[in-house]
Amino acid sequence: IVLEGETLEDDDTFIVVDQGSGVEIISRFITSVLVSKQRKRVVVHNVQTHGHGDHTIGITSNELFYDPRVVMRFHSPNLSEFRKTSQAGIMMDRVIRRSFDGSDNFPVGLNMLHATQEHIEFRPGQTVELGSVSAKTMAVPHPGGCVAYRFELPKGIVIVIATDLELPEEPDKAFSEFLSGARVAMVEMQYTEEELRSRVGWGHSTPLR
């Protein structure tokens, strides 16, 4: 999500959801904006739905990590209540340290990341402030926990992103209210009804649900 400042002096708002494989292209786009507007400093709000590998695999390809003009502000949900074992530290801080460990397989170490990192943790259900945007959060059914985001932009525009969730057969009133009034709603629905019969509990939905 990109919100341009009203004047050249106003800060733009950049919001990146998850660090999947597509983040490489997104990071290049944001870099192109910095170059074209000659920005000396920019905050990029990185919000995470959960920590599964397909949502973090692109992190080492995120070019913004290497740019000293960038503040990478990560907002990580605390999903400990949905996990069988607890993990110390904030989710994305752990992921970044594990990803840029300077190993022989990936020799880029943490000392090569020139962007400033900030890590903020929240509980599902809390509202997260992202510059000029407020994001309401909601826990959704997925193994190990996951959160959906309801981004409330200026002028009353609402965008909802719910990446991984397994909705019940009966309508979920709370989730319906979470979606209410959204101009754009991106909701995961990767299975057919037939496929779901053998995948109940995997944490994914169908178009009918």
pLDDT digits (tens, 9 = 90+) for 135-192: 999 999 999 999 999 999 998 999 999 999 998 878 789 999 999 999 999 998 888 8
Query: In this structure, are residues 13 and 6 in contact, taking their beta carbons and an 8 Å threshold?
Result: no
Alpha-carbon gap, residue 132 to 155, rounded angstroms: 11
pLDDT of residue 209: 67
Count CB atoms within 10 A of the CB of residue 35.
Answer: 10
pLDDT of residue 9: 65
Q: What is the mean pLDDT of residues 120-149?
A: 96
Q: Is the pLDDT of residue 10 over 80?
A: no
Q: 24: which residues sit within 8 A by CB, 6+ positions away?
A: 58, 61, 62, 63
For 21, phi and psi rounded to 5 degrees?
-65, -25
pLDDT in tens, 103-118: 776 788 899 999 999 9
Q: Is the pLDDT of residue 88 over 90?
A: no
Query: In this structure, are residues 60 and 106 in contact, taking their beta carbons and an 8 Å threshold?
Result: yes
Average pLDDT, the chain: 91
Q: Strand 158-162 relative to strand 147-152: parallel, antiparallel, unpaired?
A: antiparallel
Q: Which helix (H) or strand (E) holds 26?
A: helix 23-37
The tokens of 91 are what?
Answer: 């989710």
pTM of the model: 0.92
Q: What is the mean pLDDT of residues 188-205?
A: 88
